[in-house]
Amino acid sequence: MATVLCVLYDDPVDGLPSTYARDDIPVIKDYPDGQVAPTPESIDFVPGEMLGSVSGELGLRKFLEDAGHTLIVTSDKEGPDSEFEKALPEAEVVISQPFWPAYLTAERIAKAPKLKLALTAGIGSDHVDLQAAMDAGITVAEVTYCNSISVSEHVVMMILGLVRNYIPSYQQVVAGGWNVADCVSRAYDVEGMQVGTVAAGRIGTAVLRRMKPFDVGLHYTDRHRLPAEIEEELGLTFHESAEDMVGVCDVVTINAPLHPETENLFDDAMLAKMKWGSYLINTARGKICNREAIVRALESGQLAGYAGDVWFPQPAPQDHPWRTMPHHGMTPHTSGTTLSAQTRYAAGTREILESHFASRPLREEYLIVDGGDLAGAGAHSYSAGNATKGSEG
């Protein structure tokens, strides 16, 4: 029987909700590209309830314990004395989330001789040292597409929030004020702007589709060019590189995976190529943007606004400068863990575990590393040999 080590974020301050704002959530059976949503044999949770925090346990306890496995759930993941590190030597499966990543570095993988499966409850596996996982023969999987639309909705919200100066206007109301001029002094229309995405995978393409009705110009850059029919349908302009694209865009959104080619991509030099007073949205990974360069660009006015919900490290320390820099719209890493998304990634996690323990092949689209090589979604997003190092440094 196996030990399953699951790292989830803390419960709400007042505990799990006793009631919820909605009685149900829409049932999503298929994704826009035709991929089937998670199809576990059964579930032991109520869709739409809090599953992603410690007490929610991704709805896994009954399933695992009925099968004789041991489930350890914790939010304590940092340092050699953490509950995560103490339990790691016995773990056959490690489950983590992008929102509260348990960084599986090469050193931690070396301390986990029984580890067979590193499973991301969500999408994005850069918190795992993929090269170390390949070398150790560990399967890395994630619940591909489960929260891609959730993130794309968050991106659109942040674009509108920054351009329309929503947060300061809301704060004016909360503070009891009514100075319309202060609210609109940094407010513009999105209509007519040029919007570009760095990477046009599932999230990036979903953002482009959602922005098209705003009557904006749409641009993208990606290592894999989209089919001509999609470019024509959405009126897209393709650019060979981010450097080529950012200078023509009023809004740039980053939707790329973290690897050596994207780490620190938006540094002082890249930001200087952007339009003066442009907006940058980053719901991908914090390390794609240089922390200090972002602050400098906002302070100088090179950027009119920066919003995102990804940081490094996560959780961000109290003194992280992105908490206090001007004209920002930062959130904790919440874009992909709505109650709707939790239902899908909990179901997908259950589906992957059912296959793992039955020695059945995992769905190809769920695979990042398999049999010592990049596979599935991992082969599309990453390059062989470019270790993510579990987001160290």
Is residue 25 within 8 A of residue 341, CB to CB? The reply is no
Three-class HEC string of 319-376: CCHHHCCCCECCCCCCCCCCHHHHHHHHHHHHHHHHHHHCCCCCCHHHEEEECCEECH
Does the active-site annotation cover 333?
A: yes
Is 328 one of the catalytic residues? no
CA-to-CA separations, 126 to 25, 54, 123, in angstroms, rounded:
30, 22, 10
Residues 6+ apart with CB under 8 A from 48: 20, 22, 23, 24, 25, 339, 340, 343
Q: What is the radius of gyration, based on Cα positions, of the chain?
A: 21
- At residue 250, the 3 state secondary structure works out as coil
- Distance in angstroms (rounded) separating the CA atoms of residues 272 and 169: 29
Q: Out of 97, 127, 131, 147, which one is annotated catalytic? A: 147
d(CA 63, CA 285): 32
Q: Dihedral sign, CA of 16, 39, 374, 377?
A: negative
How many Å apart are CA 183 and CA 170, to the nearest integer? Answer: 9
Among this protein's residues, is 285 annotated catalytic?
A: yes
From the list 362, 393, 379, the residue with the least C-alpha distance to 118 is 362
For residue 191, count CB atoms less than 10 angstroms from its CB and return exposed for 0-12, middle for 13-18, buried for 19 or more.
exposed
Find out whether 251 and 195 touch, Cβ atoms under 8 Å.
Answer: yes
Owner of token pair 């929030």: 161
Which structure tokens are listed for 236?
């897209």
Q: Which of 302, 314, 327, 342 is catalytic?
A: 314
Which one of the listed residues 127, 259, 333, 350 is annotated catalytic? Answer: 333
- Please state, in angstroms and rounded to a whole number, the distance separating the CA atoms of residues 343 and 380: 26
With a CB cutoff of 8 Å and minimum separation 6, the contacts of 314 are 99, 100, 101, 286, 333
Residue in 285, 327, 350, 363 annotated catalytic: 285
Which residues, including other chains, have CB under 8 Å from residue 269's CB and lie 6 or more apart? none
Tokens of 148: 């891609």
Q: How far apart are CA 199 and CA 197, in angstroms?
A: 6
Residues marked active site are found at 147, 285, 314, 333
